[in-house]
Amino acid sequence: MRLNETPLFSAEQIRNRVIALGREITQHYQGQEIILVVVLKGAIVFAADLMRALDMDVTLNFIRAKSYVGTESRGTVSFSLLPETLLEDRHILLLDDILDTGRTCSEILAWLNKHRPASVRLCTLLNKPGRRVIPVEADFTGFTVEDHYVVGYGLDFDERYRHLPGIHVLEA
């Protein structure tokens, strides 16, 4: 696998898009308080930037869900860390890095919904609609991407490249 040095989305493009998303989300919730549930580890960079673009009351929680080894989806999702906060009657915004087959997010959304929250919305930085296996769509999306494996801005390939400020395609 070789990293394409030219970013698909530069740090500046991401910054601008995240600020616009922050406005959109702030407007959507109309002053209601929300719990951000961040999917570890890939969504941490996105979450750190997005939460600072929100003009509203938020609290922060993390969930660990893994469905990938290398570039291959294993088809099963396992949770290894769950939010400690009471979710009942709260507004929850789930933040993930990328919506790919949809397995991870649909399982997390189902788990969150069991806790009888007031609402659950999904926000993903990236969306790969061409790869969907489970019909799940994000309420808020940063960018739509073709069927490329991408890294950087939190996204990894076997734990590498998360630190890159832009998003790059990993070529075969």
The site for Mg ion (CB under 5 A) is made up of 42
Angle formed at CA 159 by CA 170 and CA 41, multiple of 5 degrees: 110
Interface segment toward ligand IMP; rule CB under 6 A; list 1-9, 44-52, 53-61, 145-153: 145-153
Q: Distance between CA atoms of 19 and 54, rounded to whole angstroms?
A: 8
Whichever of 18 and 125 has its CB closer to Mg ion, that residue is 125
Q: Single out the segment in contact with ligand IMP by CB under 6 A; choices: 5-13, 46-54, 55-63, 102-110.
A: 102-110
Q: Is 96 in the site for ligand IMP (CB under 6 A)?
A: yes
Please count the residues of the chain: 172
> What whole-number distance in Å separates Cα of residue 60 and Cα of residue 37?
6
- Nearest-angstrom CA–CA distance, 84 and 167: 31
> Which of 21, 47, 87, 98 touches ligand IMP by CB under 6 A?
98
9 or 68: whose CB is closer to Mg ion?
68
Smallest distance from the beta carbon of 41 to Mg ion, in angstroms?
7
Q: Does the annotation mark 100 as catalytic?
A: yes
Q: Any contact of residue 153 with ligand IMP (CB under 6 A)?
A: no
Binding flag, residue 14, ligand IMP (CB under 6 A): no
Which residues in the 35-74 window bind ligand IMP by CB under 6 A? 39, 42, 67-68, 73
150 near ligand IMP (CB under 6 A): yes
SS3 of residue 136 by DSSP? coil
Please report the beta strands in 10-167, taking only residues with DSSP state E, as ranges in sequence order.
34-40, 58-69, 72-81, 91-99, 119-127, 140-144, 149-151
Q: Is 99 in the site for ligand IMP (CB under 6 A)?
A: yes
| Cα distances (angstroms) measured from residue 79 to each of 108, 121, 141 | 9, 19, 23
| Active-site residue list | 100
